[in-house]
Amino acid sequence: MWKNRRVSGLALIAALVSLAGCSGGRPPPNLGVAQGRLAPCPASPNCVSSEAAIAEQRVAPLRYDGDVARARNRLLDALHGMDRARIARVADDYVHVEFRSAVFGFVDDMEFYFGTPGTVQVRSASRTGHYDFGVNRERIESISARFAAPSNPSGTTAR
């Protein structure tokens, strides 16, 4: 009996280590902007987007007054200092951030697209798994609140 528990425990540990080792993975090929839009969310509930067709996956875009460069700097200010965030790409009209989970290192890709003046489209999706327990939605809501905070020194104001 003791031997069976030990083998089961070792198998569980091996599975978790294996899962953690491959949890980051490569960025999906559909990241970025195509035809003026971020990629649509898959049918799984681990993605939210301001451009989503399904209400359960939809979140509000970020709003701002002023020019894009200052809004982008304001967004970067909001992102800096967030736990386990790595800014992967910054362009004139696009920002890609990778967020890694604390325990297993799962990666969520968050994208921001400055397409229409005054609006930042957002998308956040888990690279692996089916369900994210609302983490992507909560993270976008947190960033939205940080972006809209009047104490942000970059000079743009939220709308």
> Which residue ranges make up each domain of the chain?
2-148
* Phi, psi dihedral angles at 6 (to 5 degrees): -65, -45
SS3 (DSSP) at 107: strand
Instruction: Give the position of tokens 């800014």.
Output: 87
Q: What is the mean pLDDT of the chain?
A: 85
Which token pair is 82? Answer: 């967030």
Confidence check: pLDDT of 153 > 90:
no
Angle at 38 between CA 28 and CA 128, to 5 degrees: 30
Confidence check: pLDDT of 156 > 70:
no
Output the CATH code of domain 2-148: 3.30.310.80
| Helix (H), strand (E) at residue 141 | helix 135-148
* Phi, psi dihedral angles at 115 (to 5 degrees): -90, -60
Global pTM reads 0.80
Lowest model confidence (mean pLDDT) among 12-16, 25-29, 80-84, 152-156: 12-16
pLDDT digits (tens, 9 = 90+) for 32-50: 999 999 999 998 899 999 9
The per-residue pLDDT for 150 is 73
Angle of helix 135-148 versus helix 68-79 axis, rounded to 10 = 120
Which residue has better confidence, 149 or 8? 149
> Which pLDDT band holds residue 4 (cuts at 50, 70, 90)?
low
The per-residue pLDDT for 10 is 41
